[in-house]
Amino acid sequence: MSQSLLRSSLLVSAWTLVSRVLGFVRDVLLAGWFGAGAGMDAFLVAFKIPNFLRRLFAEGAFSQAFVPVLAQTREAEGEQGVRELVARTLGLLATVLALLTLAAIAGSPWLIRLFAPGFTVEDGRATLAAGLLQITFPYLFFISLVALASAVLQTWKRFAWPAFAPVLLNLCLIGFGWWGTTHAAQPLYALSWGVFAAGAAQLLLVALPLWRMGLLGWPQWRWRDSRVRRILRLMAPIVFASSVAQLALLVDSILASLLLVGSVSWLYFADRLMELPLGVFAIAIGTVLLPALSAAHARREAAAFAAQLHWSITVAALIILPAAAALFVLALPLVATLFQYGEFGAVDSTMTARALRAYAFGLIGFSYVKILFPAYSSRQDTRTPVRIAVMALLIGTGFNLVAITLVLARDLPGMHWLLALGTSLGALLNATWLWRRLPAELRAGQAAGQGGGTLPRVAAAALLMGAGLWLLAPAAPWWLAAGMGARVLALAGLIAAGLAGYLLALLLLGVRPWALLRPAAA
């Protein structure tokens, strides 16, 4: 295998890291500005709804179906065929999204009742969330078209602009949030306009290089085109699975809105911390892997396909396994150091840390779903992972329904973390079943090849690192009472000790990370 997969993964990871760091700055500022109360709950629901649908239409079903057909069209028909496919897909996607956006703006109060039935007019959250949703929902239109343009750029190995685009979201939310808290009478409305502006800015960012490449033409309404219909056929099972996924997320949102005020925010901030290693490494690898595997499949290069997949699985383990251990052990230190300022108090830190520990269990599952799913969709097999996703999501959602029903019946406070635990359970099941359903020769090749005996040793090193951090970290009361400077220094020291201990454990167990980072030849 050439070095291109490694270089592309590092490029995407680097820009994703910049975005995630800015995202943390954004969330620290939002926590300080707005806390974790009723107003923040309302904004987060208004922002989550277009994000849920984005995952349904754009980054989930659409990207997984569009990239393999795009790679095949490029091989068979060249750039002229690609231009036609992009124009016709753009025409269909933009029309559907525009109609959906108009309907959502008109029906925003009903959407809020659906996604957050615990919000009431009396506490002000229902009315506020409906007004904010009318501003944030067009983000779905913009970001879905961003997904189309990004897929084309990534197929041409232009990863920088799509990877940089999320940075604009964080910059806009920081800028509009600051302006809202200092100048606006209704600061949460200013924050919502930041979401709208971010979507438009991201679309402009990825559309310009596509236009310069000569691949962006005027949208065409040609939904009967055979290639467009193939995309729709591939999308159908993924949309079904995504619908189940969105239903699961909807159930989680409903249940969180029924719990203590602040539960939606506590889960959000915990999820943001969990998303750092997931986004920087696993999603970055999966983003680069899909066009690479699609191209290898289109050229019928089975050996290259297997080598790229095996390398990705092994490299991800080097990062994801210790990250999961660190998130579990250092949950409260991380939350208190990053968020406990201004309106975000000690109770918010404690509640958010509980959810983060539950999410840490699922980080491995979330990560390997992102890496293993392209192994199926690149071969235009969307049915198998969809069936697996449906089963895993139903089990995870069933767990959440039973758990929260018991919590509400017995009036147990502070049990929002059970929602995160159920989500993690579903992700672990999803990843396990995706692995087991891979063709036998791929699983046998992984066992005998580069990562065969490495994964258990990496897991052992991560556990040893986690045990060391547990012994070194100060007790919870210290983190809640210490000042910002003391918390930052203590957390930095723990992170440095954890990294050193993990590397030492790897070496003692016979793992050489620098050797694993060098892609093997196909």
Per-residue pLDDT tens digits for 238-261: 666 555 555 665 676 678 878 877
Least reliable range by pLDDT among 181-190, 273-282, 479-488: 273-282
The CA distance from 116 to 133, in Å, is 12
The CA distance from 247 to 283, in Å, is 22
What does the pLDDT average to over 262-281? 78
- Number of C-beta neighbours around residue 319 at 10 A: 19
Predicted confidence band of residue 315 (pLDDT cuts 50, 70, 90): confident
The pair of three-digit structure tokens given for residue 68, joined into one six-digit string: 């393999």
* Vertex 465 angle, CA 464 and 467, to 5°: 65
Characterise 233 by phi-psi region: left (phi > 0), alpha (psi -120 to 50), beta (else): alpha
6: part of which helix (H) or strand (E)?
helix 4-34
The pair of three-digit structure tokens given for residue 218, joined into one six-digit string: 């005027």
Instruction: Choose the most confident range, by mean pLDDT, from 71-75, 308-312, 384-388.
Output: 384-388
**Mean of pLDDT over the chain:** 81
Q: Residue 256 corresponds to which amino acid?
A: A
Alpha-carbon 161 to chain mean position: 18
List pLDDT tens digits, range 365-393. Answer: 888 887 787 778 777 777 788 788 888 88
Q: Residue 173 corresponds to which amino acid?
A: L
Nearest to 245 by CA among 52, 72, 442, 485: 52
Percent of the chain with pLDDT over 70: 82
The CA distance from 359 to 379, in Å, is 31
The pair of three-digit structure tokens given for residue 333, joined into one six-digit string: 């230190």
Token pair 């343009």 in the structure block, residue: 149
Task: Please name the residue ranges forming H helices in 107-225.
Answer: 108-115, 125-136, 138-155, 160-183, 187-212
Characterise 300 by phi-psi region: left (phi > 0), alpha (psi -120 to 50), beta (else): left
pLDDT value of residue 57: 65
Predicted confidence band of residue 353 (pLDDT cuts 50, 70, 90): very high
282 vs 487, which has greater pLDDT? 487
